[in-house]
C-alpha cells in the first residue's frame, strides 16, 4: 500500500473526503517527524513507539574493493511495534490486561 492508497482507505473508513484525509495524514506524519527529530518519543498505545536512536561510529568495508572505510556516528529513527499491532499482523487477538 502506498500513500495514495492509504489516504483512500482512511477517507473511506472515516467517511471524509480524500483531500481532508490527505491533510490529516500529512499533519500526523509531520508531527511525528518533528517530535522524533527533537529527540522526543511518540507512543501510540497498541500501535507502537517512534523514537530516535544514536548509532555509534564504526568501520565498514567497501564490498567492491574490500577497502575499509570509516562510517560516522549518526542519529536514526526507530520504530518499536506495540502488542496490538504485533497481534494484528500475526492474525491473533491482542491479549487484554488484567
Mean pLDDT of the chain: 93
| Count of CA atoms in the C-beta half-sphere (13 A) of 91 | 0
Give the CATH fold of the 41-98 domain: HU Protein; Chain A (4.10.520)
pLDDT at 96: 62
What does the pLDDT look like over 29-70, one tens digit per residue?
999 999 999 999 999 999 999 999 999 999 999 999 999 999
Q: Report the b/e string of 26-62 with b at 16+ CB within 10 A.
A: eeeeeebeeebeeeeebeeeeebebbeeeeeeeeeee
77 CB contacts (<8 Å, ≥6 apart)?
Answer: 36, 50, 51, 52, 53
Domain boundaries, the chain: 1-40, 41-98
Q: Is pLDDT of 97 > 70?
A: no
| CA proximity to 72, closest of 93, 59, 57, 82 | 57
Amino acid at each position: 500500500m502506498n500513500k495514495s492508497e492509504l489516504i483512500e482507505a482512511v477517507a473511506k473508513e472515516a467517511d471524509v473526503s480524500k483531500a481532508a484525509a490527505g491533510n490529516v495524514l500529512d499533519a500526523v506524519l509531520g508531527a511525528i517527524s518533528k517530535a522524533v527529530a527533537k529527540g522526543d518519543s511518540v507512543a501510540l498505545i497498541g500501535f507502537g513507539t517512534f523514537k530516535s536512536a544514536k548509532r555509534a561510529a564504526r568501520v565498514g568495508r567497501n564490498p567492491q574493493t574490500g577497502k575499509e572505510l570509516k562510517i560516522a556516528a549518526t542519529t536514526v529513527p526507530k520504530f518499536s511495534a506495540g502488542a496490538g499491532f504485533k497481534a494484528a499482523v500475526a492474525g491473533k487477538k491482542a491479549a487484554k490486561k488484567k
